[in-house]
Structure 1
Amino acid sequence: MKKLTLGGKIGRITPALAAAVMGLTITASPVLAADKLVKIDGSSTVYPITEAVAEEFQKAKRGAVKVTVGISGTGGGFKKFCRGEIDLSGASRPILKKEMEACKQAGIQYIELPVAYDALTVVVNPQNTWVKSMTVDELKKIWEPAAQGKITKWNQVNPAWPNQPLKLFGPGADSGTFDYFTEAVVGKAKSSRGDFTASEDDNVLVQGVSRDRGGLGYFGYAYYAENSKKLKAVPIVEKAGKPAVSPSIDTVKNGSYQPLSRPIFIYVNAKSVDKPEVKEFVDFYLNQAPKLSKAVKYVPLPDKAYALAKSNFAKKKTGTGFGGEPEVGVSVEELLQREGKH
């Protein structure tokens, strides 16, 4: 590169300076992908759908936008979201009062968008020949705080089961799945024994149960479906006298898989929607959610639910259709009514 003397100082000619000296107009180079970034974090349950959407979106944009998807759990995601660190947060339960307050104090407004339904799945090792089904009461007996250090063998849960060590695997305390399961089974969110192997990464739980004959765990249906050769899903009896129901797309749709069916969400920072790449990504997400949620073994919402979500997003309708309290057994119809309120 040639040297140019300016006011007695030696400097190197940059393309912009050369253009200025020659009286030329220089056009800015295209924005690099790193400059257009959509940041997402949150639920490991919502992750498979969001990751699939992110991959398709980045392909469609031919590298013009980068989408990052983290897994810090629903609670961990909301912490980042309410600090304004991310554009979207995946959540396997609705936002709670303390998170609503944190967002309010930080001036973060959010758009709540349900994207699919999940069948929270209880799994055992394939070598477990004794469990044909489990009642909600049996699950409570295993997971309630009073069980800690006491219920350590299968025959302590049901005398018909063997004197086999019971090894438990479950999501960590930052997980929305942990919140939902404890609310549905024990009767109070986050009320659980603590002596189990906990992880925000569901793949760690899959490995744990698949390697231990006495293992039992729970997580979103997608992780079971992906690993069905090395895990066994347990049919659940909601109440005495009711039949045992296995988790599946059909049993979630018809409402018979209770109490472990639940809607899953993305929350969008309303201010982030001003960024074209974020708006475009969320529009793409809502258009692709029916197909991609099915592809990763979740239950798509009815068409009218996605139409309502698109309408709410287009209007930038902020807030939540829930009251900030954990809830169990919200049907598709109930969800639609709530999300439709203004």
Structure 2
Amino acid sequence: MTRELGRNSRFSRRTFLAAAGGLGIAGLSGCTQSNPNDRSTAEPTEADSDGSGDDGGSGALSGEISIAGSSTVFPLASAMAERFEEQHSGVSTSLQSTGSGGGFANYFCTGQTDFNNASRPIQPEEEEQCASNDVEPVELKVATDALTVIVNNGNDFLGEGLTVEQLHEIWSAESPPETWADVNSEWPDEPLELYGPSDASGTYDYFIEAVLGEEGPGHRQDYAPTEQDRTIIQGVAGSEFAMGYLGFAYFSQNQDTVQAVPIKDGEGDYVEPSLDTALSGDYTPLSRPLFTYPKVSALAEEHIAEFARFWIENATDEAIVADEVGYVPLSEDERDEMLDTIDDAVEESA
């Protein structure tokens, strides 16, 4: 079965992701902002018609759900929340793109939100902050991403791509190169113009772990940090000698605007980021799991527990996760494991 990204999904992913990246905060049906990509008249998908969490249109479930966290997980959370609200008109979802760390520190661990999306696992200091506020997080894997390095379409000097060692050299805080020629003398003697996520982002944290090393000198700070992935795309598209990195879903919607860089890890081949290479494990070390974290106390509320189940039940759906959003779906075994985790947490919350 192919995992190529489809371009005839139920609504324009390009429009959705561009809007999401620009706004940073998405209001769903419970907010005053209207959704320009209303899919109420679209053909139902398998996920819509299988009865998962369906109340038969009675609207029996009601209440609010608040979600903050990762910009990478944001489009997947939005797709799931829209579908859930279509089936449960009494449920209102508020979704914010704050970065994984920003969501944990400022919203979830302070008790203000029900879920925190994350593009890396929760950190010990975040668990401590949560515990100090009687917030108990539940880790749910929702997809797999291929973190993507991008350059300008006019960049024709990288050849086959970049090695992990070159990525490390470019982005490390230790004697960071100022020009492309500082990395490779055959490359242009032009300044490196770098764009990437801020230090509140799980993508930033994962890049340090996978490329720079947690015990290393850290991430260089003379770059343009942002929590808006569209800003990274725009920055790289606007400069011939720019580079950035972000989640695969945002690149997939801008393949005509920027180009992805194949990565070589060790003695292996140069590998392009894709759903196939992320699934196979060939795209190393930049393939990564994506998470959402509900809190145990929130799962005591029926509408929140049902939304968590709905998300995981549909996390295996290739039409939603792969074709519409741009990530690798869960396997059936992973789905079943996550559903068991939810059931255990709901029992604990009772």
TM range (shorter): 0.7 to 0.9
**Counterpart Cα distance in 2 of 1:302 and 1:91:** 19
1:265 alignment partner AA: F
Q: CA deviation at 1:160?
A: 1.5
2:337 corresponding residue in structure 1: 308
2:294 corresponding residue in structure 1: 268
TM-score, with normalisation over the residues of structure 2?
Answer: 0.78
1:90 alignment partner AA: N
Q: Are the equivalent residues in 2 in contact too, given 1:168–1:217 (CA < 8 A)?
A: yes
Identity %: 37
Q: Are the equivalent residues in 2 in contact too, given 1:109–1:318 (CA < 8 A)?
A: no
2:151 corresponding residue in structure 1: 124
Q: Deviations over 1:159-183 (max 9, x none)?
A: 1211222100010000010001011
**Counterpart Cα distance in 1 of 2:334 and 2:59:** 36
Counterparts of residues 112-191 of structure 1 (less than 5 Å):
112-132=139-159, 133-148=161-176, 151-188=177-214, 191=218
Aligned to 2:142, what secondary structure does the other structure show?
Answer: strand
**Counterpart Cα distance in 2 of 1:131 and 1:66:** 47
Distance 1:304 1:44, change over 3 A: same
Q: Are the equivalent residues in 2 in contact too, given 1:147–1:193 (CA < 8 A)?
A: no
2:196 alignment partner AA: G
Aligned to 1:169, what secondary structure does the other structure show?
Answer: strand
Q: CA deviation at 1:246?
A: 0.6
Q: CA deviation at 1:307?
A: 0.9
**Counterpart Cα distance in 2 of 1:317 and 1:36:** 17
Distance 1:31 1:243, change over 3 A: closer
Q: CA deviation at 1:318?
A: 10
Q: Are the equivalent residues in 2 in contact too, given 1:111–1:268 (CA < 8 A)?
A: yes
2:198 alignment partner AA: G
2:254 alignment partner AA: N
Whether 1:70 aligns to 2:109 is no
Counterparts of residues 205-244 of structure 1 (less than 5 Å):
205-239=232-266, 241-244=267-270
Aligned to 2:270, what secondary structure does the other structure show?
Answer: coil
Match of 1:278 among 291, 297, 304: 304
**Counterpart Cα distance in 1 of 2:175 and 2:327:** 32
Q: CA deviation at 1:155?
A: 1.0
Q: CA deviation at 1:290?
A: 2.2
**Counterpart Cα distance in 2 of 1:42 and 1:147:** 32
Q: Deviations over 1:240-270 (max 9, x none)?
A: x311011111111111110001101000110
Q: Are the equivalent residues in 2 in contact too, given 1:111–1:318 (CA < 8 A)?
A: no
Distance 1:36 1:318, change over 3 A: closer
Whether 1:297 aligns to 2:296 is no
Match of 1:39 among 66, 79, 96: 66
1:84 corresponding residue in structure 2: 111
In structure 2, list runs of 5 or more residues that go unmatched. Answer: 1-57
**Counterpart Cα distance in 1 of 2:214 and 2:237:** 28
Aligned to 1:84, what secondary structure does the other structure show?
Answer: coil
Counterparts of residues 322-341 of structure 1 (less than 5 Å):
none
Aligned to 2:157, what secondary structure does the other structure show?
Answer: coil
Match of 1:251 among 261, 277, 282: 277
Question: Which one has the largest radius of gyration?
Answer: 1
Q: Are the equivalent residues in 2 in contact too, given 1:46–1:92 (CA < 8 A)?
A: yes
TM-score, with normalisation over the residues of structure 1?
Answer: 0.80
**Counterpart Cα distance in 2 of 1:205 and 1:155:** 23
Q: Are the equivalent residues in 1 in contact too, given 2:59–2:87 (CA < 8 A)?
A: no
1:195 alignment partner AA: D
Q: CA deviation at 1:90?
A: 0.2
2:126 corresponding residue in structure 1: 99
1:138 alignment partner AA: Q
What is the aligned-residue RMSD (CA, Å)?
2.0
Q: Are the equivalent residues in 2 in contact too, given 1:114–1:266 (CA < 8 A)?
A: yes
